[in-house]
Structure 1
Amino acid sequence: MENIKLGLVDDHNLFREGVKLLLHRIPGIELVLEAVSGKDLLTQLQYTTPDVLLLDLEMEEMNGVDVTINIQELYPEIKIIILTMHKEQRMISYLMEIGANGYLLKDTNKEELEKAIRSVYEKGFYFNSFVSEALLKSLKNKVNNKPPKIGKEYHLTSRETEVLELIAREYTTSEIADHLFLSIRTVEGHRKNLISKLGVKNTAGLIMKAIKEKIISV
């Protein structure tokens, strides 16, 4: 099995060194890129492309929000985990909507860091209890007094709806394939169609939109 290629972007040297020490203790994860700013990252991405990116929010020259937007446009295959001290729920919701795949606070432990990296790599998203609460509150505010919609309004097939429900239940692509007796390529095709039909950027956004529009229930 190939290692998960990881990038780390933070302008505090001491914090980066601490994260690197944690990463050295996690098998199957290889740090291939280390950047001190958003601009530094975009330069390095011309030569090295990680699978998953740990990204700070507050940086000089280009902050984490701007970096997330740029990554979505230039390197949409890269999964982004925001790693920050910011706990504001509106910020969490906004970042997930513009393309982040996960959100961790900087006081997280090694076990959760590993879990988040592997989940984002394998499933396309990671929602811990803190993030889930923030997203659900945000979605609740947006859907209040809004009539429920059903999958037919987005022209979802019954099979796409099945795949969507399993994605929301945190099944991996291979697990969905086994559960529905499909090939992995077919499942990936359904996932791409769902992202296109619901007009979102990634799997994390797909789940948020599906809950918001009441296509699936929480």
Structure 2
Amino acid sequence: MIEVAIIDDHKLFREGISFLVNQMDGISMQLEASGYDELLQGLKERKIDVLLLDLDMPGSDGLEVLEKIRVPYPEMKVVVLTMHSDPKMMAYLMEMGSSSYLLKDCSAEDLEKTIRGVVDQGYYFSGPLAKAMISGLQNHSVKKPRLKNFETVTSRELEVLQLICQEFTAREIAEKLYISQRTVEGHRKNLFEKMGVKNTAGLIVKAIKEGIIEP
């Protein structure tokens, strides 16, 4: 069972999202919060797999909430809910530790795909805006990064990075490279550290921004 929480200051919106989530097979809304303090208390009482985070809450900065919860709850996937469709904002959110984002007028189908996607592969990009960001990654090759902090990235780590950017799961990467899934996760962790990112979504965004993936 995928356990979900939502933080949003509008009760009607929270209840609507909760109703939709509880109709999804194998997914359950376990926590509704109107603010950060209520969310924090709820997270202490139960394990949450996916947090739906409203970016624009009066009296509570969604970006600040995102930053605060990444350290104590690194395994929890955060999906930002927003009305902003700015590519720069989306990229910034990914680098801050978000696993995905959704516009508030998204469909129930998109919501379900996103929840399942972030659980299955650590991130999920949906919609025309996100597709535009990663369209250049498909069928591209990896070059050795020129940036100083990437000097210790190995050829194998670059292979793993390429496959991550092409949306392969850890299991699929392991099969393609004839290595164990645990080894893949080790390479992913090393890439996080060397590239200065918090999660897989941030890793992909960094690869795009730094031009590591090129035609």
Large movers: runs of 4+ above 6 Å? none
Aligned to 1:140: none
Where structure 1 has 5 or more consecutive residues not aligned to the other structure, the ranges are 137-148
Where structure 2 has 5 or more consecutive residues not aligned to the other structure, the ranges are 135-142
Aligned to 1:107: 105
The residue type paired with residue 24 of structure 2 is: I
What is the TM-score when the length of structure 1 is the normalising length? 0.86
What is the TM-score when the length of structure 2 is the normalising length? 0.87
On the 8 A contact 1:151/1:161 being kept in 2, the answer is: no
The residue type paired with residue 44 of structure 1 is: G
Percent identity, please: 50
Of Structure 1 and Structure 2, which has the larger fraction of its residues in strand? 2
The residue type paired with residue 99 of structure 1 is: G
Residue of 163, 167, 170 corresponding to 1:166: 163
Cα distance in 1 for partners of 2:214, 2:36 equals: 37
The residue type paired with residue 126 of structure 1 is: Y
Secondary structure of the corresponding residue to residue 125 of structure 1: coil
1:106-163 C-alpha deviation (Å, 9 max, x unpaired): 1111111111111111111111234426757xxxxxxxxxxxx833751221211111
Aligned to 2:126: 128
Aligned to 1:84: 82
Cα distance in 2 for partners of 1:133, 1:170 equals: 12
Cα distance in 2 for partners of 1:77, 1:40 equals: 20
Output the aligned Cα RMSD: 2.2
**What does residue range 132-211 of structure 1 map to in structure 2 within 5 Å?**
132=130, 135=133, 150-151=144-145, 153=147, 154=150, 155-211=152-208
1:88–1:210 Cα change, 3 Å: closer
Secondary structure of the corresponding residue to residue 151 of structure 1: coil
Secondary structure of the corresponding residue to residue 45 of structure 2: coil
Counting matched residue pairs gives 206
